[in-house]
Amino acid sequence: DADVTQTPRNRITKTGKRIMLECSQTKGHDRMYWYRQDPGLGLQLIYYSFDVKDINKGEISDGYSVSRQAQAKFSLSLESAIPNQTALYFCATSDSTGLAASTDTQYFGPGTRLTVL
Amino acid sequence: QKEVEQNSGPLSVPEGAIASLNCTYSDRVSQSFFWYRQYSGKSPELIMSIYSNGDKEDGRFTAQLNKASQYVSLLIRDSQPSDSATYLCAVNNPSTGFQKLVFGTGTRLLVSP
C-alpha cells in the first residue's frame, strides 16, 4: 500500500464550486504539505502543517484553505474554484523526529489532477 | 534571481552515456539538497539527498555539492531510456524560519535508445 494517498486522483469541476482534496499518510510523519504544480512553474507551496494544531500559509494560499483532521490527514479546500486553479496538486510529508540530516526530506503522494471549467 | 535555477532542457543523451544535470541556488545558508525524478503526470520521487560538500554515490547516480560555488549536480551513469524524465532540484531554505524546500522548475532528460 502507498504510504501517502490522495483522493480523488482526477477531478473536473465548474467555476464557483467548492471542492476538497484529501491526503492521508501511513508514514507516521508529523509534517504535511500541499503543493500545486503548473507547467513551467515548478512546485509551489500552498499550505503546510507541522502538527494538528499548527497550520501555516505558503507562497500561494489565496483561494485555498486547509484542515488537519488528524496527524495522518490533511485536506485542501477550494472554496470557490476558478479556472486558473487548474493544476496538479500534490500532498507531501516529512518527519521532524528523525535524524537531523533527514528531517527535511519530503515524500510525495500520487497527486490529484484538478480541472476547473 | 530565482532561488533555485535549472536549465529546462531538454537534455538529450544516447543510451549508455553520462547525463549531467546542474542546479544553482541563491541562499548561501542552505543546508540540504535533493534531487527528485518526476515522470510526466506523476509525483516527484526522491533519488538523492546530499548535505556535505563533495560527491555522494548511489548506484548509477552521483550527487555533487559545492557550497562555495552554490551549485549541486546530478550525474547519471549508463543512462537508460527509463531515465527519461524531469529532474527537480530542491534546496532547503532555513532563513524562512522552518525547513522549507524550494524547488527548481526541473530539467527534462531524454535518453535515446
pLDDT score of A2: 67
Q: Which of A37, A32, A117, A38 is nearest to A82 (CA)?
A: A117
Question: A60 and A45 in contact (C-beta within 8 Å)?
Answer: yes
Q: Mean per-residue pLDDT for A42-48?
A: 92
pLDDT score of B96: 62
Q: What are the two backbone dihedrals, phi and then psi, of residue A102, each rounded to the nearest 5 degrees? A: -115, 5
Amino acid identity, residue B54? G
pLDDT score of A78: 96
Each residue of B31-48: pLDDT tens digit? 889 999 999 989 999 999
State whether B103 and A42 contact (CB < 8 Å). yes
Each residue of A7-21: pLDDT tens digit? 999 999 999 999 999
Residues 6+ apart with CB under 8 A from A99: none
Q: Give the confidence band of B71 by pLDDT, cuts at 50, 70, 90.
A: very high
Q: Mean per-residue pLDDT for B11-22?
A: 97
Q: What are the two backbone dihedrals, phi and then psi, of residue B81, each rounded to the nearest 5 degrees? A: -55, -30
Nearest CB partner across the interface for A42, out of B45, B99, B106: B106
Element (H, E) at B4: strand B4-5
Helices (H), chain A: none
Residues 6+ apart with CB under 8 A from B64: B50, B54, B55, B56, B72, B73, B74, B75
pLDDT score of A98: 61
Q: What distance in Å separates the CA atoms of residue A83 and residue B39, rounded to the nearest whole number? A: 25
pLDDT score of A102: 57
Checking if the pLDDT of A1 tops 80, the result is no
Q: Mean per-residue pLDDT for A39-66?
A: 91
Q: What distance in Å separates the CA atoms of residue A11 and residue A111, rounded to the nearest whole number? A: 11
Distance from CA of B89 to the nearest CA of A (A): 10
pLDDT score of B97: 57
Q: What are the two backbone dihedrals, phi and then psi, of residue B28, each rounded to the nearest 5 degrees? A: -65, -20
Q: Give the rounded distance of the alpha carbon of A36 from its chain centre.
A: 8
Nearest CB partner across the interface for A108, out of B8, B43, B92: B43
Q: Which of A19, A21, A25 is nearest to A8 (CA)?
A: A21
Each residue of A68-117: pLDDT tens digit? 999 999 999 999 999 999 999 999 998 876 655 556 789 999 999 999 99
State whether A43 and B42 contact (CB < 8 Å). no
Q: Count other Cβ atoms within 10 Å, centred on residue A97.
A: 9
Q: Count other Cβ atoms within 10 Å, centred on residue A96.
A: 15
Question: A19 and A11 in contact (C-beta within 8 Å)?
Answer: yes
Distance from CA of A6 to the nearest CA of B (A): 11
Q: Which of A7, A35, A20, A37 is nearest to A94 (CA)?
A: A35
State whether B44 and A108 contact (CB < 8 Å). yes
